[in-house]
């Protein structure tokens, strides 16, 4: 008698309308249940039966209910699916195709079929790009996907690269333009500086050489530095097909083992590259470094022809300056250039340590591959004096470009960093009080105050304090108008020294050249900032993902099974600790139970970056600990380790 009762239906609707609804992100577990995370502090239980409607990472609207005196959620509406376009591994059973998404928390295969426009053949073990077309929370009976393209076979040694690039929707190959289309397209009057002793200093295997230096000393002891930068814009017309290609790629993508250039290699590594004894068009900046290390206000930009007299390597130049090994400069004039550049570098470092910001050198890690592409080893590399010579010269050049652009047009592509926002400035002040360091939030939000804080921290040389302060800092950004770069300690900063590798530098080149030649100047559009930031993020994620994959393959070797590694703790989360192996740079995870077996006695403090056991500090971010590898999981590209006492 209650069926189809309008009053009952109306009552149900009223009760349904009164049921609280919450929005959050689904987090699954290996036990079948999950949680709906509202923020970093609040989450609600999702029973296994309700988890069947959603996937890990889905953003959903859910009903909040009480079941057996416990708050649970029932998924109601899909706000944003975790999977849209994704990569995964194919399994073919009984003529049907299935795909397992390449995400550690997604354990179930999804039924799939090739898209009608896809002609690729798919086999078990193949990697593929897919698009989710059906979702249970949308009312579909199953999750379903369409295969867009095949990526690579499972046993292909290049799988880490091709799969990762496909995941982040990045280019896999260089742009190709025929040589006869790469011609010098400007007819500017250029100074002939081919007689000057320009030199380049790069990695020994670098082919896309975009900067050369020449310096001389006057009778007063001031150093006159000329920075010559390769000029690809002399070959690339604004709005041309090649310009459009570069504007989409934004950067040369540097990956372990190889790079994928922004420009065609016959341009970036030949016609534009400042190769030794080759006449090349260049954009020139001439500056004077005074005896106190400051940059004179006399800054001059111009167009020129140059000819590098020698391609030098960081290792050889550093060895010679440090009196190591047998390498010698090829000529007396090049020896003079190295000595003057070394002196200039030391002057600039001293000036910056007093007037700007100097950060501690980080160890970098380089993958070494055989000729066949097999990973042989991973080397730790410290930045040496020759690296710093080039770095200081390029920093001086970029400060000068920012000043020149601001003075003449008031816009460009500026690298900016805002230091701390108002909330984090207060957090920093509160944190520093624990170490008897007194600053005000108002002071820290000024460029001068930020620089002063960095200099104090450099004197203290406390890695834990440094790591916590960095956590409060904002991220680097880009701006069309001049703004400070707190992290470097400059009131403005605009890069133009890598136009072969960065599209933002191409934009600044065009602006600088327009000023030099009194041409019409076009202000960059605001949208370009978003493109630069997004592409930079995707390139970095790709580099990280490939590195994680390679580390897993590398550390599976028998010789590492029982080896004790020294590791630096880099992060503390609710579930454990992340650390970096000092020897090779691999990131490992140490789960909470491996730190202390009694969960109630273990506190993992994310905010302070500390681990406490029974109320006593056990370890913290920046500490060095000894670890042994416990488990290496290829499917998730993760390395689990245990602390050794």
Judge contact between 44 and 65, C-beta under 8 A. no
Six-digit token pair at 70?
Answer: 């416990």
Six-digit token pair at 252?
Answer: 């040369």
Whether 224 is catalytic: no
Six-digit token pair at 512?
Answer: 């600088």
Spatial separation of the C-alpha atoms in residues 300 and 274, rounded to whole Å: 21
Catalytic residue among 58, 197, 210, 545: 210
Spatial separation of the C-alpha atoms in residues 349 and 355, rounded to whole Å: 10
What H or E segment, with its residue span, contains residue 162?
Answer: helix 159-167
Judge contact between 238 and 510, C-beta under 8 A. yes
Six-digit token pair at 466?
Answer: 């440094």
Catalytic residue among 249, 468, 501, 637: 501
Judge contact between 417 and 487, C-beta under 8 A. yes
Task: Return all residues near 170 (Cβ < 8 A) that are at least 6 apart.
Answer: 253, 260, 538, 539, 542
Task: Return all residues near 376 (Cβ < 8 A) that are at least 6 apart.
Answer: 368, 369, 370
Spatial separation of the C-alpha atoms in residues 642 and 597, rounded to whole Å: 12
Helix pair angle (385-408, 503-516), 10° resolution: 50
Whether 501 is catalytic: yes
Q: What is the dihedral of CA 478, 481, 486, 488, to 10 degrees?
A: 70
Whether 210 is catalytic: yes
Spatial separation of the C-alpha atoms in residues 491 and 446, rounded to whole Å: 11
Comparing C-alpha atoms, which of 345, 367, 362 is closest to residue 255?
A: 367
Catalytic residue among 102, 126, 197, 208: 208
Spatial separation of the C-alpha atoms in residues 119 and 45, rounded to whole Å: 43
Comparing C-alpha atoms, which of 580, 497, 528, 503 is closest to residue 253?
A: 503
Six-digit token pair at 505?
Answer: 């530098």
Say which residue the tokens 């006492």 belong to: 645
Judge contact between 487 and 395, C-beta under 8 A. no
Half-sphere exposure in the Cβ direction for 420 (13 Å, CA): 26
Catalytic residue among 102, 202, 505, 545: 202
What H or E segment, with its residue span, contains residue 625?
Answer: strand 624-633
Catalytic residue among 126, 211, 505, 623: 211
Whether 548 is catalytic: no
Catalytic residue among 44, 214, 314, 503: 314
Comparing C-alpha atoms, which of 503, 435, 501, 502 is closest to residue 469?
A: 435
Whether 510 is catalytic: no
Spatial separation of the C-alpha atoms in residues 238 and 525, rounded to whole Å: 14
**CA distances, 324 to each of 317, 318, 343, 389 (Å):** 10, 8, 19, 18
Spatial separation of the C-alpha atoms in residues 41 and 280, rounded to whole Å: 58
Taken in order 308, 309, 315, 317, is the CA torsion positive or negative?
negative
Judge contact between 629 and 639, C-beta under 8 A. yes
Whether 186 is catalytic: no
Say which residue the tokens 């190959």 belong to: 173
Q: Mind telling me the catalytic residues?
A: 202, 208, 210-211, 314, 501
């Amino acid at each position: 008698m209650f069926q189809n009762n309008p009053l009952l239906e109306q009552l149900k609707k009223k009760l349904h309308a009164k049921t609280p609804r919450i929005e959050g992100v689904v987090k699954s577990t290996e036990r079948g249940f999950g949680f709906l995370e509202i923020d970093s502090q609040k989450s609600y239980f999702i029973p296994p039966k309700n988890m069947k409607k959603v996937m890990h990472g889905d953003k959903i609207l859910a009903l909040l209910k009480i079941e057996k005196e416990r708050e649970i959620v029932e998924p109601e509406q899909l706000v944003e699916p975790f999977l849209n376009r994704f990569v995964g591994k194919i399994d073919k059973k009984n003529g049907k195709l299935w795909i397992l998404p390449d995400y550690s928390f997604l354990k179930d295969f999804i039924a799939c079929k090739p898209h009608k426009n896809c002609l690729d053949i798919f086999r078990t073990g193949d990697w593929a790009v897919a698009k989710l077309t059906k979702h249970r929370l949308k009312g579909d009976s199953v999750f379903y996907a369409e295969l867009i393209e095949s990526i690579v076979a499972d046993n292909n040694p290049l799988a880490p690269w091709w799969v990762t690039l496909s995941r982040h929707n990045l280019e896999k190959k260089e742009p190709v333009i025929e040589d006869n289309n790469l011609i010098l397209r400007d007819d500017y009057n250029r100074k002939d500086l081919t007689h000057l002793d320009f030199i380049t200093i790069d990695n020994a295997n670098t082919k896309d050489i975009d900067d050369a230096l020449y310096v001389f000393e006057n009778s007063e002891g001031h150093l006159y530095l000329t920075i010559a930068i390769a000029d690809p814009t002399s070959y690339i017309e604004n709005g041309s097909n090649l310009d459009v290609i570069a504007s989409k790629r934004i950067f040369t993508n540097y990956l372990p083992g190889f790079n994928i250039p922004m420009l065609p290699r016959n341009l970036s590594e030949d016609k534009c590259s400042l190769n030794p004894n080759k006449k090349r068009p260049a954009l020139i900046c001439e500056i004077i470094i005074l005896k106190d290390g400051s940059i004179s206000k006399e800054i001059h930009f111009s167009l020129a022809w140059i000819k590098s007299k020698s391609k030098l390597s960081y290792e050889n130049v550093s060895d010679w300056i440090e009196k190591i090994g047998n390498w010698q400069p090829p000529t007396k004039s090049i020896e003079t250039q190295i000595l003057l550049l070394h002196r200039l570098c030391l002057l600039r470092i001293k000036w910056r340590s007093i007037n700007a910001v100097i950060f501690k050198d980080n160890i970098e890690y380089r993958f070494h591959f055989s000729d066949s592409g097999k990973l042989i080893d991973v080397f730790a590399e410290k930045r040496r004096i020759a690296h710093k010579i080039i770095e200081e010269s390029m920093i001086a050049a970029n400060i000068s470009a920012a000043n020149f652009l601001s003075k003449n047009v008031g816009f460009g592509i500026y690298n900016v960093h805002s230091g701390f926002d108002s909330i984090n400035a207060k957090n920093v002040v509160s944190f520093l009080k624990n170490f008897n360091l007194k600053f005000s939030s108002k002071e820290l939000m000024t460029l001068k105050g930020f620089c002063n804080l960095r200099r104090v921290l450099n004197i203290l040389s406390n890695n834990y304090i440094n790591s916590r302060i960095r956590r409060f800092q904002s991220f680097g950004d880009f701006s069309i108008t001049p703004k400070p770069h707190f992290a470097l300690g400059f009131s403005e900063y605009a890069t133009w020294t890598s136009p072969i590798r960065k599209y933002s530098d191409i934009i600044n080149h065009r602006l600088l050249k327009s000023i030099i030649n009194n041409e019409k100047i076009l202000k960059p559009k605001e949208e370009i900032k978003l493109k630069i930031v997004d592409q930079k993020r995707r390139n970095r994620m790709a580099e990280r993902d490939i590195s994680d994959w390679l580390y897993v393959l590398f550390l599976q070797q028998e010789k590492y099974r029982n080896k004790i590694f020294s590791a630096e703790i880099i992060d503390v989360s609710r579930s454990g600790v992340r650390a970096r192996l000092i020897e090779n740079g691999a990131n490992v995870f140490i789960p909470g139970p491996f730190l202390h077996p009694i969960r109630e006695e273990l506190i993992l403090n994310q905010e302070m970056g500390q681990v406490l056991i029974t109320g006593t500090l056990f370890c913290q971010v920046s500490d060095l600990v000894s670890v042994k590898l416990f488990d290496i999981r290829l499917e998730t590209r993760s390395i689990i380790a245990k602390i050794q006492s």
